[in-house]
Amino acid sequence: MSAPERIPPRSVTPHELLTRGELTVRGRVREASNAVLYCTVEYEGVSAACVYKPVAGERPLWDFPDGTLAQREVAAYELSEAMGWGLVPPTVLREGPYGTGMCQLWIDAPGETAEGAPVAPLLALVEGDEPGQGWKAVGYADVGEDRTALLVHADDERLRRLAVLDAVINNGDRKGGHLLPAADGRLYAIDHGVTFNADDKLRTLLWGWAGEPLTEEAMAALRRLSADLAEESPLAVRLAELITPAEIDALRARVADLLRTGRHREPSGQWPAIPWPPV
């Protein structure tokens, strides 16, 4: 008699793990302005580290409706996926030990690649007025003792995609500490609570391409996104559960404007262009 065929274990997706898994709080990220809890999540024998941000731990903001930051984090993930860039770690809205909140896969940024080489820096302060080869200038920063230095970011295609995503989601707080280069060479971005405002709130360190033509890759992604945002589309229906109708209309308008101009956003001059503190 032949042995029975072994059925391989079913693969658990990150979305399933985060949505259905048992969430256990292990600690708190103290430096965060809102409640950010470091957790593990386990489902069908698979476990991973994650971040849980309960709505109950959000500080009220004057320019965003109370209790909406977790939904905006999820909406940013949905847009990143719709554009095909995978820049935001898997993120869901779920119940947890302290109520409804955002749950996001934890990303390690070890400082070196899988081969053991140091991860190339993404931000720097340099002397002089020119950014140097491989860098894009952002602006001058006060470094103390009445001295300034030129703040620059890497001329990196991953950052360039993120600059486009931030313009789409109207990110009001893109800081250097939100950039997580993983050991496998991928770049992840976190902390998207202050996004999708109907008013222009774009504040970012990634102004190095301001006014330059968008890449054809970015234009193609924007065209796909524009189609995906049509009324009653699956993406539009999903976003309606997370942000307001006015914010969805403003999102469509931002995508249309980027397609019309074919260029990276420039600072509006009506809102501080760089978040503080920048890192």
Structure tokens at 138: 């952002």
Kind of pairing between the strands at 179-181 and 99-105: unpaired
pLDDT value of residue 1: 40
What's the token pair of residue 163?
A: 């600059």
50, part of any domain: yes
Do the domain assignments include residue 274? no
d(CA 122, CA 143) in angstroms, rounded, equals 18
At residue 91, the pLDDT reads 98
Domain membership flag for residue 272: no
**Residue 278's pLDDT is what?**
65
Q: Is residue 8 part of a domain?
A: no
Q: Would you say the C-alpha torsion 237, 257, 155, 176 has a positive or negative sign?
A: negative
DSSP class of 176: G
Q: Is residue 3 part of a domain?
A: no
Q: For each of the chain's 279 residues, which pLDDT tens digit applies?
A: 444 445 455 689 999 999 999 999 999 988 778 899 999 999 999 999 999 999 999 999 999 999 999 999 999 999 999 999 999 999 999 999 999 999 999 998 877 666 777 778 899 988 888 898 999 999 887 767 778 889 899 999 999 999 999 999 999 999 998 999 988 889 999 999 999 999 999 999 999 999 999 999 999 999 999 999 999 999 999 999 999 999 999 999 999 999 999 999 999 887 778 887 666
Domain containing residue 234:
14-261
- pLDDT of the residue at 53: 97
- Starting at the edge strand found earlier in the chain, the sheet holding 99-105 runs 22-28, 37-43, 46-54, 99-105, 91-96
Q: Exposed (0-12), middle (13-18) or buried (19+): which is 145, by Cβ within 10 Å? A: exposed
CB 100 within 8 A of CB 73: no
Task: Report pLDDT for 57.
Answer: 94
Asked, for residue 197, whether it belongs to a domain, the answer is yes
Q: Does residue 205 fall inside a structural domain?
A: yes
CA distance 230 to 254: 14
Calculate the CA 129 to chain-centre distance: 30
Is 270 among the domain residues? no
Domain count within the chain: 1
- Residue by residue, DSSP assigns 22-91 as EEEEEEE-TT-SS--EEEEEEETTEEEEEEEEEGGGPPPBTTB-TT-HHHHHHHHHHHHHHTT---S--E
